[in-house]
Homo-oligomer: A and B are copies of this chain.
Amino acid sequence: MQAHSPLLDRQLKAIANPQRRQVLEWLRDPRAHFAPQVDGDLVADGVCALRIEEKLGLAQPTTARHLKVLVDAGLLVPKRIKQWTFYRRDEAGLAALRAGLSEQL
Protein backbone atom coordinates (compact mmCIF):
# COMPACT_ATOMS: atom_id res chain seq x y z
CA MET A 1 0.00 0.00 0.00
CA GLN A 2 0.96 3.57 -0.64
CA ALA A 3 2.16 5.79 2.18
CA HIS A 4 0.22 9.02 2.46
CA SER A 5 2.23 11.86 0.98
CA PRO A 6 1.67 15.30 2.51
CA LEU A 7 3.41 17.00 -0.41
CA LEU A 8 1.28 15.36 -3.07
CA ASP A 9 -1.75 16.16 -0.97
CA ARG A 10 -0.85 19.84 -0.83
CA GLN A 11 -0.13 19.87 -4.55
CA LEU A 12 -3.43 18.27 -5.48
CA LYS A 13 -5.36 20.61 -3.22
CA ALA A 14 -3.50 23.49 -4.83
CA ILE A 15 -4.49 22.55 -8.37
CA ALA A 16 -8.03 21.64 -7.34
CA ASN A 17 -8.86 25.35 -7.66
CA PRO A 18 -9.58 26.72 -11.17
CA GLN A 19 -8.02 30.11 -10.55
CA ARG A 20 -4.81 28.63 -9.29
CA ARG A 21 -4.72 26.35 -12.34
CA GLN A 22 -5.28 29.42 -14.46
CA VAL A 23 -2.22 31.09 -12.97
CA LEU A 24 -0.09 28.01 -13.59
CA GLU A 25 -1.28 27.92 -17.17
CA TRP A 26 -0.60 31.62 -17.80
CA LEU A 27 2.90 31.18 -16.46
CA ARG A 28 3.66 28.43 -18.96
CA ASP A 29 4.11 31.22 -21.49
CA PRO A 30 4.28 34.54 -19.66
CA ARG A 31 5.09 36.57 -22.78
CA ALA A 32 1.88 35.37 -24.39
CA HIS A 33 -0.23 36.52 -21.46
CA PHE A 34 1.49 39.51 -19.84
CA ALA A 35 2.93 42.79 -21.05
CA PRO A 36 6.69 43.28 -20.68
CA GLN A 37 7.92 44.48 -17.30
CA VAL A 38 10.52 47.06 -16.42
CA ASP A 39 12.03 45.52 -13.33
CA GLY A 40 12.30 41.82 -13.97
CA ASP A 41 12.26 39.52 -16.96
CA LEU A 42 8.91 37.84 -17.55
CA VAL A 43 10.49 34.46 -18.13
CA ALA A 44 13.67 34.48 -16.06
CA ASP A 45 12.23 36.19 -12.99
CA GLY A 46 8.52 35.63 -13.37
CA VAL A 47 5.40 37.77 -13.45
CA CYS A 48 4.68 40.54 -10.96
CA ALA A 49 1.96 39.69 -8.44
CA LEU A 50 0.07 42.84 -9.34
CA ARG A 51 -0.28 41.75 -12.95
CA ILE A 52 -1.56 38.37 -11.91
CA GLU A 53 -3.97 40.03 -9.53
CA GLU A 54 -5.53 42.28 -12.14
CA LYS A 55 -5.75 39.47 -14.67
CA LEU A 56 -7.45 37.20 -12.14
CA GLY A 57 -9.87 39.96 -11.14
CA LEU A 58 -9.62 39.09 -7.47
CA ALA A 59 -8.80 41.33 -4.53
CA GLN A 60 -5.16 41.70 -3.57
CA PRO A 61 -5.29 39.64 -0.35
CA THR A 62 -7.18 36.85 -2.09
CA THR A 63 -4.66 36.69 -4.92
CA ALA A 64 -1.80 36.79 -2.43
CA ARG A 65 -3.21 33.77 -0.63
CA HIS A 66 -3.68 31.83 -3.87
CA LEU A 67 -0.08 32.53 -4.78
CA LYS A 68 1.05 31.46 -1.32
CA VAL A 69 -0.81 28.16 -1.64
CA LEU A 70 0.99 27.49 -4.92
CA VAL A 71 4.36 28.42 -3.46
CA ASP A 72 3.77 26.26 -0.37
CA ALA A 73 2.92 23.35 -2.65
CA GLY A 74 6.20 23.82 -4.48
CA LEU A 75 4.49 24.73 -7.74
CA LEU A 76 5.58 28.38 -7.96
CA VAL A 77 8.88 30.10 -7.21
CA PRO A 78 8.68 33.63 -5.78
CA LYS A 79 11.41 36.18 -6.37
CA ARG A 80 11.55 39.49 -4.60
CA ILE A 81 13.01 42.39 -6.58
CA LYS A 82 12.77 45.83 -5.02
CA GLN A 83 9.23 46.12 -3.72
CA TRP A 84 7.81 43.59 -6.15
CA THR A 85 7.41 39.86 -5.98
CA PHE A 86 7.66 37.95 -9.23
CA TYR A 87 6.33 34.45 -9.65
CA ARG A 88 7.38 31.74 -12.08
CA ARG A 89 6.54 28.06 -12.34
CA ASP A 90 8.53 25.57 -10.30
CA GLU A 91 9.07 22.98 -12.99
CA ALA A 92 10.72 20.57 -10.56
CA GLY A 93 7.70 20.68 -8.28
CA LEU A 94 5.37 20.22 -11.22
CA ALA A 95 7.41 17.21 -12.32
CA ALA A 96 7.14 15.79 -8.80
CA LEU A 97 3.38 16.25 -8.98
CA ARG A 98 3.21 14.38 -12.28
CA ALA A 99 5.39 11.61 -10.87
CA GLY A 100 3.31 11.33 -7.72
CA LEU A 101 0.16 11.17 -9.77
CA SER A 102 1.33 8.43 -12.08
CA GLU A 103 2.47 6.48 -9.05
CA GLN A 104 -0.70 6.89 -7.02
CA LEU A 105 -3.41 7.16 -9.59
Contacts and interface: CB of A to CB of B under 8 A. Distances in A.
Interface stretch (A16-24, A46-54, A57-65): A16-24
Contacts of A18: 4, 9
A25 B94 contact: no
A12 interface: yes
A9 B1 CA distance: 27
Copies, count: 2
Interface in A6-60: 9, 12-13, 15-16, 18, 21-22, 24-26, 33
A78 to B, nearest CB: 19
A15 B105 contact: yes
A102 B94 CA distance: 11
